[in-house]
Structure 1
Amino acid sequence: MTQPAPVVFLLDVDNTLLDNDRVVADLRAHMTQVFGAERQERYWAIFENLRDELGYADYLGALQRYRVENPHDPHFLEVSYYLLAYPFADRLFPGALDVIARFRGWGKTTILSDGDVVFQPRKIERSGLFKALDGNALIYIHKEQDLDDVAKRYPAAHYVLVDDKLRILTAVKKIWGNRLTTVFPRQGHYAHDPVVLVTYPPADVTVDGVGDLLRYDLKTLIEAGTAT
């Protein structure tokens, strides 16, 4: 049996380490240029329907479904290339890599993300996050439902979870209790949704941006979780 580490850091990707809202805005602009406004809107309607169905974002899967509806539109190839070649490293939030380096100095650190089996790993690799974390990355369909597997792979006395979704932070806190410090970077559209902010309790630690975590020491982070 692997002895539990004193602390393990679990880091979300989209709108936590990487500005995914900016990625989506760039993709919308590119699709409008390639497909036209009407078909661009249709793609995103398919995307949202597929997300409701699967429980996670599947950009390439939505593009597949778009092609079924438009089998003679050759432009989907250009959009596919655009997605696969996108410069994700340019969309990391300021300080993201520095925070990773700081956390790794304190304990084992890994990505904990949701997503599909092709595009999400591609995003993690091309952003430089995979290399920065020496390949430590977990990608689930619903990560909050796979905490037993997370704990098996990364056993720890205490966890620090950084995520832009209060829903996720609340769900994991209910299961792990004071073994967990929840950290909420207020980045991206989910983090500023007024309905979300009044629906879920505040995280143990709230920061404006992930880079603000450089102001925290390990003792403060752990005590913020154990005090709740």
Structure 2
Amino acid sequence: MLSDNASSVASVVFLLDVDNTLLDNDRFAADLGDTLEQAFGTTERDRYWAIYAQLRDELGYADYLGALQRFRTGLDNDPSLLQMSAYLLEYPFAERLYPHALDTVAHLRTLGPTAILSDGDVVFQPRKIQHAGLWKALRGEVLIYLHKQQMLVAMQQRYPAAHYVMVDDKPQILAEMKQRLGHKLTTVFVRQGHYAAAAPADLQPTPDLTIACIGDLRGRKLEDFLPDTPVISLRAD
């Protein structure tokens, strides 16, 4: 594993977000909402999402299982409640991978050490990564923090490198990471999912590379990610 070679310094390490970067988390959320509505009705579905939003504000990351724990209030005798944990933990995330996501991972691994750098809890997020097939594809090179943009020192200790490439659907996080790492980081913004669609156009610093979908990285060469590369925007055909 890459982490076993912590004493060596790679030239470039690629870091990949998960939700709406490698897999369609918006589709998962829609499926979850439909399942909640079918099992409990629209009022209870909306109550779950209100709990989820409150928890997200409190914690700073998505906590679907934590929201389910609070959601149980008043539903302890409903047999559908206990089925929801299985629904979440066994959800077929491999079916929600974006086209060519695994091909992209394989390609980037030919260019340099590659790892997942994600936000999330320590139960559901690892489970999601495993069920999607990403844990295996990345050979277990996975980091999950509460706020990854605040954990860049720890990330560099785990994966020392001369340069880093971060691929993410949230330009705000990319901007924060760029402010902290400067020219040592190349930021790649993937225009997928609702966060990307809602991103402010005037956010600074702007991403170094903007792509329409994760599969667009399959044809990129190592020099395309190195410092002093001009800002590039790619669009899907």
Q: TM-score range by the shorter chain?
A: over 0.9
Structure 1-normalised TM-score? Answer: 0.95
Change (3 A) 1:69 1:91: same
Given that residues 183 and 227 in structure 2 are in contact (C-alpha distance below 8 angstroms), is that contact kept between their aligned partners in structure 1?
no
For structure 2, the 5+ residue unaligned runs are 1-5, 232-237
Q: Secondary structure at the match of 1:139?
A: strand
Query: Which of 124, 131, 142 matches 2:129?
Result: 124
197-206 or 164-173: bigger deviation? 197-206
Structure 2-normalised TM-score? Answer: 0.91
Given that residues 120 and 146 in structure 2 are in contact (C-alpha distance below 8 angstroms), is that contact kept between their aligned partners in structure 1?
yes
Are 2:208 and 1:204 equivalent residues in the alignment? yes
Task: Measure how far apart 1:190 and its partner are.
Answer: 0.4
Are 2:228 and 1:221 equivalent residues in the alignment? no
**Percent of aligned pairs with the same amino acid:** 56
1:1-228 map, 5 Å: 2-194=7-199, 196-223=200-227
| Matched residue, 2:3 | none
Provide, for residues 78-117 of structure 1, a one-character-per-residue CA deviation record: whole Å limited to 9, x for no partner. Answer: 2211111111001001111111111111111100000011
The number of aligned residues is: 226
- Partners of 1:197 and 1:82 lie apart in 2 by 37
Change (3 A) 1:6 1:60: same
Task: Measure how far apart 1:69 and its partner are.
Answer: 4.5
Given that residues 184 and 227 in structure 2 are in contact (C-alpha distance below 8 angstroms), is that contact kept between their aligned partners in structure 1?
no
Code of the aligned partner of 1:55: G
Code of the aligned partner of 1:209: C
Code of the aligned partner of 1:123: K
Change (3 A) 1:162 1:51: same
Change (3 A) 1:179 1:38: same
- Partners of 1:185 and 1:215 lie apart in 2 by 15
Provide, for residues 142-181 of structure 1, a one-character-per-residue CA deviation record: whole Å limited to 9, x for no partner. Answer: 0001100000000000000000001110001011111111
- Partners of 2:8 and 2:183 lie apart in 1 by 19
- Partners of 1:9 and 1:187 lie apart in 2 by 19
- Partners of 1:148 and 1:225 lie apart in 2 by 25
